[in-house]
Chains A and B, each alone.
Chain A
Amino acid sequence: MTPTLNDYLILSAVLFAIGTAGVFVRRNLITILLSVEIMLNAVNLSFVAFGRSLGTADGQIIVFFVMTVAAAEAAVGLAIVIGLFRHRESLNPDTFTSLKW
């Protein structure tokens, strides 16, 4: 019995929920960024599964673009984290409560 489209979509949903939980619950900027990566990967899995079930290459092409965007976003996000860390010596988003340094 081979896995069906539903199986892949349920797995994608579970991974997306785990990523969202990570973003809501964790108070460490790097772990929050990692949870965003989990969410992006869950979405990639959905795209590839749908592309496979429709028999086109479009799913894989969208995944290609999503990976590119994720790389760009991770780079800029980490640069911002480095900048924030330099000012406050902390990675806890709760310490960044005032607008002026």
Chain B
Amino acid sequence: MTLFYLFAAVAVIASLLVIAQRNPIYSVLLLIASFGALSGLYVMLDAPFVAVTQIIVYAGAIMVLFLFVVMLLHAPAEETEHDEKIHPLRRAGPMRFGAALAAALVVELLWALTRAGGETGPFPGAAVSSVRAIGRALFTEYAFQFEVTSILILVAMVGAVVLAKREAAKS
């Protein structure tokens, strides 16, 4: 149980710092730390394949993509003079409204979760944790969805290349 609290604390604190940081590079690195904690939680849930895939895909590929974009754009933090003096989370107007909405969401979710009956004991039954079982299900029951996601990635790749290309110089 202490391990669960440790991972949960790391995940929550890192996520809070992600949205509180001014510098986008620190946000990306803190998010990687949060993903690492989530990976630990997946191992505790007897899902080693998902845990390692989380590190390989999310922390190792998607976050590298974010880091590249931040570095190539020399992404500034919120820029105006006014913005630079006040920390992002303390600005007036839409910020306060957004923060109030988020707080309302937290309260509502916690109310819903603690009110419902829900499981109070440890997980019943055995887990399906072997990669072999996942692979078998992926290629038999969910084969169509698997092929569709491959087309999705192809479309995303083409779209990203087209969108990020510089326009040819107008002669």
Residues of chain A at the chain B interface (Cβ within 8 Å) = 1-11, 13-22, 24-28, 30-31, 33-35, 37-38, 41, 44-45, 48-49, 51-61, 63-65, 67-76, 78-83, 85-86, 90-92
Contacts of A24 in B (CB 8 A): 94, 97-99, 101-102
- Do A52 and B127 contact each other (CB < 8 Å), given the known contacts A19-B15, A31-B19, A83-B164? yes
Ranked nearest first, the 10 interchain pairs of A and B with the lowest CB-CB distance are: A24-B98, A21-B102, A72-B156, A22-B19, A79-B163, A13-B109, A55-B125, A79-B160, A17-B106, A5-B119
Contacts of B125 in A (CB 8 A): 54-55
Contacts of B66 in A (CB 8 A): 30, 33-34, 74, 78
Contacts of A15 in B (CB 8 A): 11-12, 15
Contact yes or no, B62 A71, CB < 8 A: yes
Residue of A whose beta carbon sits closest to that of B109: A13
Q: Is B47 interfacial (CB-CB < 8 Å)?
A: yes
For the complex formed, measure the closest distance between the CB of B42 and the CB atoms of chain A, giving whole angstroms. Answer: 6
A27 to B82, CA, bound (A): 13
Residue of A whose beta carbon sits closest to that of B166: A86
Residue of A whose beta carbon sits closest to that of B48: A60
Residues of chain B at the chain A interface (Cβ within 8 Å) = 1, 4, 8, 11-12, 15-16, 18-19, 21, 24, 27-28, 31, 34-35, 38, 41-42, 44-47, 49-50, 53-54, 57-58, 61-62, 65-66, 69-70, 72-73, 75-80, 83, 88-89, 94-95, 97-99, 101-103, 105-106, 109-110, 113-114, 118-128, 133-134, 137-138, 142, 145, 149, 152-153, 155-157, 159-164, 166
Contact yes or no, B16 A18, CB < 8 A: yes
Contact yes or no, A25 B99, CB < 8 A: yes
For the complex formed, measure the closest distance between the CB of A81 and the CB atoms of chain B, giving whole angstroms. Answer: 7
For the complex formed, measure the closest distance between the CB of B50 and the CB atoms of chain A, giving whole angstroms. Answer: 5
Residue of B whose beta carbon sits closest to that of A40: B58
A4 to B123, CA, bound (A): 6
